[in-house]
Amino acid sequence: MMDFPKLEDLSVAGKTVLVRIDLNVPMTGGKVTNDTRIVRLLPTLNFLLKKKARVVLLSHFDRPGGKFVPDLSLAPLVDAVSAALGGRPVKFGVDCIGPAAQDAVKKLKDGEVLLLENLRFHAEEEKGNARFAEALAALGDIFINDAFSASHRSHASITGIANYLPVAAGRLMQEELEVLSGIFSSAQRPIAAIVGGSKVSSKLELLANLTKTMDTLIIGGAMANTFLYAQGYKVGKSLHEPKLKSAALKILKNAEKNKCRIVLPVDAVVAPELKAQSPCRITGIDKIPDNGIIADVGPASVELFARELSRCKTVIWNGPIGAFEISPFDASSIGLARAIARLTAAKKIRSIAGGGDTIAALMHAGLADSFSYISTGGGAFLEWLEGKTLPGVAVLLKSGAKKHKAKAAR
Ligand code: 3PG
């Protein structure tokens, strides 16, 4: 079991609590288009506010590259955070550091919320600069990390502040860690992972780790093309990575050695080009025409995948299995999401999904609420599945270990 300090381990009443959150949410025209990451913060924020803490929210937004970019200000997020808090006023500090931040924090009263400006307007944040972290820490009494989705970054606000303040995981961080650590320790087996996306090269470490930890590994999306190509199938003009032929064969070999069953598509939706409503046809995986592009896995593959999953007790999904953003090549991702939703509703499996595109595909299918657990992590979820220790999580575990030691010494 993971041991890390939690909210109730600290006394927060009347204290200024710095909460690292991830407000890197999808926005169009200054409006939040998906507030999941904000709503998921409510257990932490409500806990702190009920205890009459002074809550200072720290976040990045997008990648401004260490300079002030007006379009990437967090100011438009104030209304969204306030709305999530049931209309509670949220103050805004025009900088996350320096006199503007200090002034805004000083004016904060018990039970009030302040959001500070985008951390990444300062290059020191992404560099993990210690003085920047110390200056951020000087704004508060306690540090809470509730940004699992940014905890794969060794940035000042993720790993640095904890060097200067008592630290704990927020509720969302706690939930992510408990659910995701269970995948590799206590998940009910058989356990399957579905991995999609376009390139094997971007998920080599993921695939290698999953062949060691999963009972079944279903590969879809364009990355399946590289595996099919490595096995001698023709993939026409489809996206594939010929240079990764031997890496793909090695993954297949290791899977066999580890008794991990690899499942690849058996049919495909082939089109002359990847364009909406492009004429397309379904064909067996051994009959891909020389000038065709595999745009989606076919219906027989979806059926096969669903059959495989019905034999499992836990299912993890990362990466759409077709070009889901282009209709009609969203059919397999929607079909598979429906099959998983059905198995989940029937309590036959526990389903966990994560990753930006995967969640977008589930929202597109209208099924984001039908999975047992949706991680807020994109890159962080991927790195977790790769078996990596996330720097932000390492900091929390270190504090947990210290706490343990101190208790033992008493
Ligand atoms: C995310 O959206 O995955 C996190 O906010 C991290 O963003 P980054 O990839 O820009 O560091």
User: How much is the pLDDT for 407?
Assistant: 64
Tell me: pLDDT of 345 over 90. yes
Q: Look at 10-19, 129-138, 310-319, 397-406 and tell me which has the smallest mean pLDDT.
A: 397-406
- Which of the following is catalytic: 128, 182, 356, 387? 356
Q: Which residues pair with 177 in a beta bridge?
A: none
Q: How many domains does the chain have?
A: 2
In terms of Cα–Cα distance, which of 332, 270, 342, 281 is closest to 303?
332
Q: Tell me how far the alpha carbon of residue 127 lies from the centroid of ligand 1, in angstroms.
A: 15
Any ligand 1 atom below 6 A from CB of 150: yes
Spatial distance between the Cα atoms of 256 and 246, rounded to a whole number of angstroms: 15
Q: Are residues 30 and 169 in the same domain?
A: yes
Token output for 248:
């793909």
Q: Has residue 386 been placed in a domain?
A: no
Q: Are residues 144 and 192 in the same domain?
A: no
Beta strands in 140-221 (DSSP E): 142-145, 167-169, 191-195, 216-219
Q: Are residues 222 and 371 in the same domain?
A: yes
Q: Are residues 239 and 149 in the same domain?
A: no
96 pLDDT band, cuts 50/70/90, is very high
Which of 37, 120, 146, 153 should be mutated for ligand 1, with most atoms under 8 A from CB? 153
User: How much is the pLDDT for 401?
Assistant: 75
Q: Are residues 109 and 239 in the same domain?
A: no
User: How much is the pLDDT for 409?
Assistant: 66
Q: Are residues 212 and 282 in the same domain?
A: yes
Q: Report the atom number in ligand 1 closest to the C-alpha of 63.
A: 10
Q: Has residue 296 been placed in a domain?
A: yes
Q: Tell me how far the alpha carbon of residue 62 lies from the centroid of ligand 1, in angstroms.
A: 7
Tell me: pLDDT of 296 over 70. yes
Q: Has residue 384 been placed in a domain?
A: no
Q: Has residue 1 been placed in a domain?
A: no
User: How much is the pLDDT for 400?
Assistant: 73
Spatial distance between the Cα atoms of 322 and 326, rounded to a whole number of angstroms: 9
Q: Has residue 119 been placed in a domain?
A: yes
Report pLDDT digits (tens) over 215-264: 999 999 999 999 999 999 999 999 999 999 999 999 999 999 999 999 99
Report pLDDT digits (tens) over 9-60: 999 999 999 999 999 999 999 999 989 999 999 999 999 999 999 999 999 9
pTM: 0.93
Q: Are residues 201 and 348 in the same domain?
A: yes
Instruction: Domain of residue 258: give its range.
Output: 187-376
User: How much is the pLDDT for 88?
Assistant: 98
Q: Has residue 181 been placed in a domain?
A: no
Q: Are residues 66 and 201 in the same domain?
A: no
**What mean pLDDT do residues 122-150 have?**
98
Dihedral Cα 202, 205, 208, 212, nearest 10 deg = -140
Spatial distance between the Cα atoms of 218 and 194, rounded to a whole number of angstroms: 5
Spatial distance between the Cα atoms of 48 and 338, rounded to a whole number of angstroms: 38
User: How much is the pLDDT for 1?
Assistant: 75
User: In terms of DSSP bridges, do strands 281-284 and 293-297 run parallel, antiparallel, or are they unpaired?
Assistant: unpaired
Q: Is 199 a catalytic residue?
A: yes
Q: Is 37 a catalytic residue?
A: yes
Q: Are residues 202 and 348 in the same domain?
A: yes
Q: Is 257 a catalytic residue?
A: no
Any ligand 1 atom below 6 A from CB of 24: yes
Q: Tell me how far the alpha carbon of residue 149 lies from the centroid of ligand 1, in angstroms.
A: 7
Report pLDDT digits (tens) over 362-408: 999 999 999 999 999 999 999 999 999 999 999 999 987 777 666 66
Q: Has residue 107 been placed in a domain?
A: yes
Q: Are residues 321 and 400 in the same domain?
A: no
Q: Tell me how far the alpha carbon of residue 113 lies from the centroid of ligand 1, in angstroms.
A: 23
User: Hey, what amino acid is at 67?
Assistant: K
Contact 2, 403 (CB under 8 A): no
Which of 24, 25, 376 should be mutated for ligand 1, with most atoms under 8 A from CB? 24
Tell me: pLDDT of 110 over 70. yes
Any ligand 1 atom below 6 A from CB of 37: no
Q: Tell me how far the alpha carbon of residue 155 lies from the centroid of ligand 1, in angstroms.
A: 11
Q: Are residues 210 and 311 in the same domain?
A: yes
Q: Are residues 291 and 249 in the same domain?
A: yes
User: How much is the pLDDT for 404?
Assistant: 62
Q: Is 250 a catalytic residue?
A: no
Token output for 14:
């009347």
Q: Has residue 383 been placed in a domain?
A: no
Q: Report the atom number in ligand 1 closest to the C-alpha of 149.
A: 4
What CATH code is carried by the domain that includes residue 108? 3.40.50.1260
In terms of Cα–Cα distance, which of 41, 40, 16 is closest to 143?
16
User: Hey, what amino acid is at 89?
Assistant: P
Any ligand 1 atom below 6 A from CB of 26: no
User: How much is the pLDDT for 313?
Assistant: 98
Report pLDDT digits (tens) over 52-91: 999 999 999 999 999 999 999 999 999 999 999 999 999 9
